[in-house]
């Protein structure tokens, strides 16, 4: 059992095609005390730094995952990886993560087997697929379409997506998977239905250091090494371990 002070480290958006399709630009530019309107979503502008805000960026590769495992092992730490189980292609087809990125997925599975990684359910699509709403637009950003669990979608859709993601990830790993990341979107779903999904409602932001794969792709693995070597008490643990600790403390 981990000490009560241990925090979880969570890396979100692995396998999420929002990194490809979520494109929007800055719409305000600061000039002294003023925030002036700027047409950052106009055509190509939103693809160019520093106007570009989120995507596109690439998926982490197998060699990077190997280095992540080495860094975790060296720090005697573990990390929860929020995997979006279905990659949404531009035409709307959804490809399971282990099939879309087999090399990275194989290293992740080895990390799980070695106790360095835990895979968490970070949704099925990470975006609204219907009507091609996830696709980049010419004259506006599409940030709001890159949340999966909108409250204007029927609860059945949420349940179906969580269920499909659980199916893909549990088949891939051969073991139960926790749901983490986007917790606030799931909290409306009657979490009791997901009996097998541990820690769904109990692990809050205060107990988790959350980063995105984007941080590592754009800024390098030094971001992770900085966190692992930073001035903290205990090494990072998984979301599941923090959840179990909190549940135990309640009893
Ligand atoms: Zn996400």
Return d(Cα 158, Cα 189) in angstroms, integer. Answer: 8
Q: Where are the alpha helices (DSSP H) in 80-120?
A: 97-100, 102-113
Q: Is 41 left (phi over 0), alpha (psi -120 to 50) or beta?
A: alpha
The predicted pLDDT at position 200 comes to 52
CA 201 / ligand 1 centre spacing (Å): 17
CA 12 / ligand 1 centre spacing (Å): 6
Higher pLDDT, 114 or 160: 114
Q: Where does the pLDDT of residue 1 fall: very low under 50, low under 70, confident under 90, or very high at 90 and above?
A: very low
Percent of the chain with pLDDT over 70: 85
* The pLDDT of residue 186 is above 50: no
The predicted pLDDT at position 182 comes to 41
Q: How far is CA 243 from the centre of its chain?
A: 18
Higher pLDDT, 192 or 89: 89
CA 125 / ligand 1 centre spacing (Å): 10
45-91 pLDDT, tens per residue? 888 888 888 889 999 999 999 999 999 999 999 999 999 999 999 99
Q: Where does the pLDDT of residue 194 fall: very low under 50, low under 70, confident under 90, or very high at 90 and above?
A: very low
* The pLDDT of residue 134 is above 70: yes
Using a 10 angstrom Cβ sphere, with 0-12 exposed, 13-18 middle and 19 or more buried, the burial of residue 95 is: middle
111-132 pLDDT, tens per residue? 999 999 999 889 999 988 888 8
CA 56 / ligand 1 centre spacing (Å): 14
CA 122 / ligand 1 centre spacing (Å): 7
Kindly state the average pLDDT of the residues 228-249.
Answer: 78
Unique residue bearing structure tokens 């926790």: 178
For residue 165, what are the CA distances in angstroms to 10, 202, 243? Answer: 18, 21, 21
CA 7 / ligand 1 centre spacing (Å): 19
CA 211 / ligand 1 centre spacing (Å): 10
CA 11 / ligand 1 centre spacing (Å): 9
CA 158 / ligand 1 centre spacing (Å): 15
pTM (predicted TM-score): 0.84
CB 178 within 8 A of CB 243: yes
CA 209 / ligand 1 centre spacing (Å): 14
The predicted pLDDT at position 202 comes to 52
* Token output for 80: 């929860």
Cα-based angle 186, 190, 184 (whole degrees, multiple of 5)? 20
CA 126 / ligand 1 centre spacing (Å): 7
Higher pLDDT, 192 or 238: 238
Q: Where does the pLDDT of residue 165 fall: very low under 50, low under 70, confident under 90, or very high at 90 and above?
A: very high
Cβ neighbours of residue 32 closer than 8 Å, sequence gap 6 or more: none
Q: Which of 2-11, 112-121, 159-168 has the lowest mean pLDDT?
A: 2-11
96-105 pLDDT, tens per residue? 999 999 999 9
């Amino acid at each position: 059992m981990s000490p009560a002070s241990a925090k979880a480290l969570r890396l979100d958006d692995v396998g999420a095609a929002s990194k490809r399709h979520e494109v929007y630009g800055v719409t305000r530019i600061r000039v002294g005390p003023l925030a002036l309107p700027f047409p950052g979503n106009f055509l190509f502008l939103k693809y160019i730094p520093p106007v570009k805000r989120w995507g596109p960026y690439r998926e982490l590769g197998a060699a990077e995952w190997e280095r992540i495992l080495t860094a975790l092992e060296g720090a005697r730490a573990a990390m929860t990886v929020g995997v979006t189980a279905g990659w949404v292609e531009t035409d709307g087809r959804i490809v399971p993560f282990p099939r879309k990125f087999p090399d990275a997925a194989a290293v992740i599975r080895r990390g799980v087997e070695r106790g360095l990684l835990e895979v968490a359910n970070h949704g099925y699509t990470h975006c609204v697929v219907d009507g091609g709403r996830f696709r980049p637009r010419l004259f506006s950003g599409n940030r709001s379409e890159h949340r999966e669990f909108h409250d204007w979608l029927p609860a059945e859709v949420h349940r179906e997506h969580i269920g499909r993601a659980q199916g893909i990830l549990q088949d891939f790993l051969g073991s139960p998977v926790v749901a983490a990341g986007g917790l606030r979107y799931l909290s409306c779903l009657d979490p009791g239905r997901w009996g097998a999904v541990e820690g769904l409602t109990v692990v809050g932001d205060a107990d988790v250091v959350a980063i995105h794969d984007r941080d590592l792709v754009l800024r390098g693995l030094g971001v992770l090494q900085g966190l692992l070597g930073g001035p903290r008490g205990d090494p990072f643990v998984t979301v599941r371990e923090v959840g179990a600790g909190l549940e135990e403390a309640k009893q």
